[in-house]
Structure 1
Amino acid sequence: MRDQIAAFLSQPAVLIGWLGVSFACVGVLLWDFRRANPEIGRLMKVVWALTVLYSGPVGLLVYWMTGRKQIARDTIWRRGWRSTAHCYSGCGMGEIVGLVLAVGILALGTVPTALVTFAFAFTFGILLTLGPLMHDGVPFGEAMQDSLVSETASIVMMEVVAIGVDLWLAGGAGLGDVLFWTAMMTSLTLGLFAAWPVNVALVRFGVKEGMHDPREMAKA
């Protein structure tokens, strides 16, 4: 099964098609920000843009169903998706940087690649929560503790799945191989899905608040 999936993902047409669809989805997102949801905060606009860039139509669907002020009502399931997207935007960036560094520059083996990639993903994910807290005046120590408590479980689940799938599909691929990039996009999206129930649980048990209801942001 792995060989069949890898063979499909190794086709240049798959990469070109996915990139075309993803950029088109980002265009739709930006159009919606401008025409229908200008009230969405700057940080969440960046979060949604990265989510859609990583996962194309999947990311756009998550935004459309959970991140717009036009949703009929908010639910814990929608809050969970918004929280997951927030985590995903930072972790995804860290994972891409980590993989490019570990594989393309340092040419590390499988285990070091996994460790370096996880370290970058974890750091970027935490920083995306830490930065806004400190911007709001929370002291560094308290902000770091809050970030670690609220994000660690989500990041670990997301990256165990994403890195594991990526190495399983493209463990021997280099930066010049189509499979390196298509496997990365596939694994990132699977990590998004894997982290969602974790974020729902974290919100339900009060470990994290989840991102605000977009309808309330519009009213404000």
Structure 2
Amino acid sequence: MEHSAHHAAHQTHEGHGGHLAGGVTWGAAAKATLHCLTGCAIGEILGMAIGTAMMWGNVATMVLAIVLAFVFGYSLTLFAIRKAGLNLKAAIKVALAADTVSIVVMELVDNGIIALVPGAMDAHLDETLFWTSLLGGFVIAFLLTTPVNKWMIGRGKGHAVVHAYH
């Protein structure tokens, strides 16, 4: 999509429900955060499960989980944007613009919580501590990332760039 067409689509969307004019609802921010959390959770759980099952050290497991969280987080947006007709290069730019800050905040919070919960990093897949610390981290990350997404969408950033293609 050329720049002027993108700009026109963006302006048209700005009037849609006041999402980009600063009147972003908490529901819209929560929906964007939940979208991001879904991709992050898939990657994070997969990475933690693989690292734990392979008996890797804490650092290697956490690195794998974070890398996969970014891969899956971006992928969900990328697939949706590609489905809307954008070429791969443009879709990658939109996905990076839409999700980077959200994923970074989510991963910092989630992994920080896992690192701070005593014994969580050493827990095994069959232990309640593994799952409660991981899922608890997701809940707290969601609660802390939603205001960030609300602020960004209200300024035409983050998931606001995705809405121009829906």
> Fold-level match, TM-score > 0.5?
yes
* Preserved contact between residue 82 and residue 211 of structure 1 (Cα < 8 Å): no
Tell me by how many angstroms 1:110 deviates: 2.0
User: Could you tell me how far apart the structure 1 residues matched to 2:53 and 2:148 are?
Assistant: 32
**Equivalent residue pairs, number:** 138
Once the two structures are TM-superposed, the CA of residue 175 in structure 1 deviates from its matched residue by 1.2
Residues 129-187 of structure 1 show CA distances to partners (whole Å, capped at 9, x for unaligned) of 00011011100000001100110000010011111212322011111222111111111
> Normalization by structure 2: what TM-score?
0.77
| Greater RCO (Cα-Cα under 8 Å, separation 6 or more) | 2
CA positional deviation for 1:210: 7.7
Tell me if 1:134 matches 2:82: yes
Answering whether residue 28 of structure 2 is matched by residue 79 of structure 1, we say yes
Q: Quick one: which amino acid aligns to residue 187 of structure 1?
A: G
Work out the CA distance in 2 between the residues paired with 1:110 and 1:133: 35
Instruction: Identify the residue that residue 122 of structure 1 maps to in structure 2.
Output: 70
Query: Percent sequence identity over matched residues?
Result: 31
Aligned equivalent of 2:9? none
Q: Whole-Å Cα distance in 2 between the matches of residues 102 and 123 of structure 1? A: 16
Pick from 91, 110, 113 the counterpart of residue 165 of structure 1.
113
Aligned equivalent of 1:111, options 44, 55, 59: 59
- The 3-state SS of whatever aligns with 2:56 is coil
CA RMSD of aligned residues (A): 1.7
User: 1:166, 1:184 within 8 Å by CA — same for their partners in 2?
Assistant: yes
User: Does the aligned pair in 2 maintain the 1:76–1:204 contact within 8 Å?
Assistant: no
Deviation (angstroms), 1:195: 1.1
Pick one of 48, 51, 56 that aligns with 1:102.
51
Kept in 1, the 8 Å contact 2:28–2:150? The answer is yes
**Gap regions ≥5 residues in structure 1:** 1-73, 213-220
Contact 1:103 1:175 in 2 (8 A): yes
Q: Does 1:90 align with 2:39?
A: yes
Q: Secondary structure at the match of 1:171?
A: helix
Hey, which bits of structure 1, 4+ residues long, moved more than 3 A?
A: none
- Is 1:176 the counterpart of 2:126? The answer is yes
Instruction: Measure the CA separation in 2 of the matches of 1:102 and 1:164.
Output: 17
Aligned position for 1:192? 142
Do the aligned residues in 2 keep the contact of 1:83 with 1:210 (CA within 8 Å)?
A: no
Q: CA deviation at 1:83?
A: 0.7
Matches within 5 A, 1:27-106: 75-105=24-54
Q: Unaligned stretches of 5+ in structure 2?
A: 1-22
Name the amino acid aligned to 1:140: L
- In structure 2, relative to structure 1, the CA distance for the partners of 1:80 and 1:88 (3 Å cut) is same
Tell me if the contact between 2:102 and 2:145 (Cα under 8 Å) persists in the aligned partners: yes
Q: Among 182, 202, 206, which residue is 2:152 paired with? A: 202
